[in-house]
Structure 1
Amino acid sequence: MRYKLLGHSGLRVSEICLGTMTFGEEWGWGSSYDESRKMFDAFAEAGGNFIDTANLYTNGTSEKYVGEFIAADREKWVVATKYSLNMKNGEINGFGNHRKNMVQAVEASLKRLQVEYIDLLWLHAWDFTTPVEEVMRAFDDLVRAGKILYIGMDNTPAWIISQANTIAHLRGWTPFIGLQIEYSLKERTPERDLIPMAKAFDIGVTAWSPLAAGLLTGKYNTSETASEAKRLNSPELGKINERDLKIADEVSKIAAEIGKPASQVALNWLRQQPVEVIPIVGSRQLSQLQENLACLEFKLTPAQM
């Protein structure tokens, strides 16, 4: 495992980030406590130090598991969590980007994680309501208070992030150092604006759903219909089209040529982009995570890219 500086900072993070949305079984499809622990230990043994969770994941269980798992060596870990989405049904200020929700979400996450500070706080999704100035000042206040160390954005348009970071620089507030986006061979929309924006502001890029909800694992090809893919896996895969299946075919073809799993080919395509990208790898089983981590053992050739 190699390490990278995350954006315009001195923070060193592993080249793979462990996604923990599967930690906990409250949503009906996640991993048990024991399986989650095995995956965490395998990631640690591989040299990983960057872990991603959210207050909403499995209704808070993900954060609780992460907090327990890192307790023995907390300073080794760069723990990233998120706020914004609704954790309190029926409470009018229990969601959104505003200061009140940010503060109450951070305090609750600190308790679940059993830590004194959060290394990286992501804004989970832009609400198109809260003023940018309120968000950035609230972030900066929490950094100055020692509750969080760094900040990042997820599910937010490039123009808003650009505005926010420009305001932060002008006013001496804490700027974003991280960007989280859906990015894969199937989903390349960020190449139009978000990735060029990140490059211009020197913001580190992390990618969720790097395997396109399983499409790029080698399970699906042009012989599979969208309805069959939906039956076999998930509603998200039910949205695939002929173009997506052709991409999956090409990934499987390269994988067969080099004798590697399709998932590793897809992950290395991300890792070898001109702008450094850190894949967020989440798994339900230890064997899946181990297979994905093995992508670190080789690189694709320029022709294969």
Structure 2
Amino acid sequence: MQYKLLGNTGLRVSELCLGAMTFGEDWDWGANRETSQAIFDAFAEAGGNFIDTANVYTNGTSEKLLGEFVGAERDRFVIATKYTVMMNPTDPNSSGNQRKNLMRSLDASLKRLNTDYIDLYWVHMWDTVTPVEEMMRALDDVVRTGKVMYVGISDAPAWIVSRAQTIADLRNMTPFAAIQLEYNLVERTVERDLLPMAEDLNLSILNWSPLGGGVLTGKYLHQDSDQDRLNKAEYFQHYKVDRAMQIAQTVVDVAHEIGCSAAQVALAWIRQQSPRHIPIIGARTLEHLKDNLGCLQVALSEEQFIRLNAASEVDPGFALTFLRRLQNLFLGAANETLDLSLHPVSRWVLDRK
């Protein structure tokens, strides 16, 4: 396992992040305590130090188990957890980005994790109503108290993240170090704005569902009943099944060529997009985790990378399509000779394939 700096900070995090949403059986599909411990231990033995959870995961059991597993080695690990999602249906202030929910959620997470600080505290999702200024001030306050080291935001539009970063910069508040979003070969629409934004703002990118909920492992191929289940599942309604199956088949074909698993190919594709990407690997069995860790040994050839891109490409939409078509007008004679390697945003806008 190699390590990366988290966004524009000096914090070292492993190049893969362990997702702990599967820790606990409260939701009827997670791993029991023994299996969760084995998954955690295997990740740590591989050099992983970055673990992601949330207060709501398995009704708080995920945080409790993670706190037990970390134990006396707390300072060795970078623990990320989240607030926002409703914890008490009878309390209207038990959800949202506002100060009260943040403060109460943080204290509860610290207790469950049995720690006195959180390394990375996530806004779990934009609640659409809390003023951005209130959210950023409250996050800055908990950093200044020492209860939180760094902050990030998950599942929010690019304009909200950009506005929040601008406010933090102008008012000397703690900025976001990372964003978390869905990104995989089936879901690439974040390339239109969120990924170029992350490059420009020097944010790390944590990728949830890097295997498309299992679609990219190839397990749904040629199984009509599973495809029907995929088509009807609320979580996957934004996936077009026929397109998803075609992409999955391409992933499987590349995996056969390399001699590795389809999951390893899907993870390697994300890792080769940009050094900013840190896939969140979640597993319900030790075997799944070990297979995912194998992606660290997989390197896609240029031809394979291009083929996967072509099979999964999305329409960048306006204004990116417009700018790419007319780049000669604003770059002029420099267009053919300009080296964009040191300009990541320009690469995303003008040279994305």
Question: Which TM-score band applies after superposition, normalised by the shorter structure?
Answer: over 0.9
Alignment of 1:259-298 (within 5 A): 259-274=259-274, 276-298=276-298
In structure 2, what is the equivalent of residue 180 of structure 1?
Answer: 180
Q: Is residue 2:226 matched to residue 1:228?
A: yes
C-alpha separation in 2, matches of 1:14 and 1:137: 29
In structure 2, what is the equivalent of residue 95 of structure 1?
Answer: 95
Q: Is residue 2:164 matched to residue 1:164?
A: yes
Q: Closer, same or farther in 2 for the Cα pair 1:232/1:178, shift >3 Å?
A: closer
| One-letter code aligned to 1:101 | N
Contact kept? 1:195, 1:275, Cα under 8 Å: no
In structure 2, what is the equivalent of residue 195 of structure 1?
Answer: 195
Q: Closer, same or farther in 2 for the Cα pair 1:233/1:11, shift >3 Å?
A: farther
C-alpha separation in 2, matches of 1:260 and 1:172: 48
Q: CA deviation at 1:302?
A: 1.3
Q: Closer, same or farther in 2 for the Cα pair 1:208/1:274, shift >3 Å?
A: same
Contact kept? 2:230, 2:241, Cα under 8 Å: no
C-alpha separation in 2, matches of 1:224 and 1:260: 22
Q: CA deviation at 1:231?
A: 4.1
In the TM superposition, structure 1's runs of 4+ consecutive aligned residues that sit over 3 Å from their partners are: 230-234, 236-240
Contact kept? 2:231, 2:241, Cα under 8 Å: no
Q: Is residue 2:153 matched to residue 1:153?
A: yes
Q: CA deviation at 1:35?
A: 0.2
Alignment of 1:57-76 (within 5 A): 57-76=57-76
Q: Is residue 2:35 matched to residue 1:35?
A: yes
C-alpha separation in 2, matches of 1:112 and 1:8: 29
Contact kept? 1:230, 1:237, Cα under 8 Å: no
Q: CA deviation at 1:298?
A: 2.4
In structure 2, what is the equivalent of residue 303 of structure 1?
Answer: 303
Contact kept? 1:25, 1:31, Cα under 8 Å: yes
Instruction: For residue 156 of structure 2, give the secondary structure of its aligned residue in structure 1.
Output: coil
C-alpha separation in 1, matches of 2:103 and 2:29: 30
Instruction: For residue 187 of structure 1, give the secondary structure of its aligned residue in structure 2.
Output: coil
Q: CA deviation at 1:230?
A: 4.5
In structure 2, what is the equivalent of residue 204 of structure 1?
Answer: 204
C-alpha separation in 1, matches of 2:46 and 2:281: 13
C-alpha separation in 2, matches of 1:289 and 1:9: 28
Count of aligned residue pairs for this structure pair = 303
Contact kept? 1:80, 1:118, Cα under 8 Å: yes
Alignment of 1:212-223 (within 5 A): 212-221=212-221, 223=222
Unaligned ranges ≥5, structure 2: 306-353
Q: CA deviation at 1:224?
A: 3.6
In structure 2, what is the equivalent of residue 49 of structure 1?
Answer: 49
C-alpha separation in 1, matches of 2:300 and 2:159: 33
Instruction: For residue 303 of structure 2, give the secondary structure of its aligned residue in structure 1.
Output: coil
For residues 72-114 of structure 1, what are the alpha-carbon distances to aligned partners after superposition, in whole Å with 9 as ceiling and x for unaligned? Answer: 2111100000000000111011100000000000000000000
| One-letter code aligned to 1:70 | V
Instruction: For residue 85 of structure 2, give the secondary structure of its aligned residue in structure 1.
Output: coil
Instruction: For residue 304 of structure 1, give the secondary structure of its aligned residue in structure 2.
Output: helix
Q: Closer, same or farther in 2 for the Cα pair 1:234/1:54, shift >3 Å?
A: farther
C-alpha separation in 2, matches of 1:118 and 1:230: 41
C-alpha separation in 1, matches of 2:277 and 2:36: 25
| One-letter code aligned to 1:228 | D
In structure 2, what is the equivalent of residue 137 of structure 1?
Answer: 137
Q: Closer, same or farther in 2 for the Cα pair 1:96/1:286, shift >3 Å?
A: same
State TM-score, norm by structure 2: 0.84
More helix by share: 2
For residues 193-239 of structure 1, what are the alpha-carbon distances to aligned partners after superposition, in whole Å with 9 as ceiling and x for unaligned? Answer: 00011111101101000000000112133x344x5334489924575
C-alpha separation in 2, matches of 1:162 and 1:148: 21
Instruction: For residue 303 of structure 1, give the secondary structure of its aligned residue in structure 2.
Output: helix
| One-letter code aligned to 1:206 | L
